Amino acid sequence: MKYKNILVEKEDRTAWITINRPNKLNALNKDTIKELHEVFSKLEKDKGVLVIILTGSGEKAFVAGADIAEFAGFSEKQGKKLAAKGQEILFDFVENLSKPVIAAVNGFALGGGLELAMACHFRVASENAKMGLPEVSLGVIPGYGGTQRLPRLVGKGRAMEMIMTAGMIDAQKALDYGLVNYVVPQEGLTDLCSQLAGKISNNSPVAIGYAIKAINDCFNTNVNGFATEIDAFGKCFGTADFKEGTSAFLEKRKADFPGK
């Protein structure tokens, strides 16, 4: 797979997606969002890939925001369409992917960059990472899900403060807030994400896909998450992965899941 703005590598059933616009601090533009949608779509269908890790090129930024020059002259109608389309093809799409997506936050994650990291299933940050939603300083609000996902992760009060002050928090505070799962030196970021991907890859990909859906439905006010869990739990019993997992446990051996 070759793209203009992103790089894709595969290693040990893990795919690494690197947003590669270092001169723009990996800022998101329409073309990059479209390319990301395409590559996530392909990797979800790729049976050789069990986990996806998303990061930014260089040592300064994961994604330092959206490309403001691209929408500075937009009308109300165009602004609404921009947010709706972006959420549909990338941010909601990533959140609802059946394969786990880890954000390796290797520097600034601001605006659309933090929104993209929050759409991933969880986040690991390097010590130099800084995160924030500065949109109100431009006279606009987060439009790619930031007002929805940030409160779920850090709580309403902290989200209100972060969004209204337009300020940044460092990696340690992000860890304290529960916005990221781990903070490591930058040189250790790749290794930790790979280790986590390896642990995930040992488990049933079919069950993980069901788990992602059930957890996401916990935050969907239009859906009964408990009902989703019950339905998904039942469906697991009809899978080859369940038969292999339970057999392996009873036979005291390591499971070799057919779903891989």
Compute the CA torsion angle 144, 109, 178, 38 (nearest 10 deg): 50
User: Active-site residue numbers?
Assistant: 115, 135
> How far apart are alpha carbons 197 and 192 in whole angstroms?
9
Residue 257: inside a domain, yes or no? no
**pTM of the predicted protein model:** 0.96
42 & 144 share domain? yes
241 & 184 share domain? no
Q: Are 104 and 189 in contact (CB under 8 A)?
A: yes
User: 124 lies in which domain range?
Assistant: 6-201
State whether residue 185 is helix, strand or coil.
coil
Which of 201, 219, 239 finishes a domain?
201
Upper half-sphere CA count for residue 256 (Cβ side, 13 Å): 2
Compute the Cα dihedral for 5, 65, 67, 30 and give only its sign.
Answer: positive
Q: Are 87 and 144 in contact (CB under 8 A)?
A: yes
Residue 260: per-residue pLDDT = 83
Residue 1: per-residue pLDDT = 62
Please give the tally of structural domains in the chain. Answer: 2
126 & 141 share domain? yes
Residue 256: inside a domain, yes or no? no
Residues whose CB falls within 8 Å of the CB of residue 141, separated by 6 or more in sequence, listed in order: 135, 147, 163
> How far apart are alpha carbons 244 and 231 in whole angstroms?
20
In tens digits, the chain (260 residues) has pLDDT values of 689 999 999 999 999 999 999 999 999 999 999 999 999 999 999 999 999 999 999 999 999 998 888 888 999 999 999 999 999 999 999 999 999 999 999 999 999 999 999 999 999 999 999 999 999 999 999 999 999 999 999 999 999 999 999 999 999 999 999 999 999 999 999 999 999 999 999 999 999 999 999 999 999 989 999 999 999 999 999 999 999 999 999 999 999 999 88
Residue 2: per-residue pLDDT = 81
Residue 21: inside a domain, yes or no? yes
Residue 74: inside a domain, yes or no? yes
Residue 1: inside a domain, yes or no? no
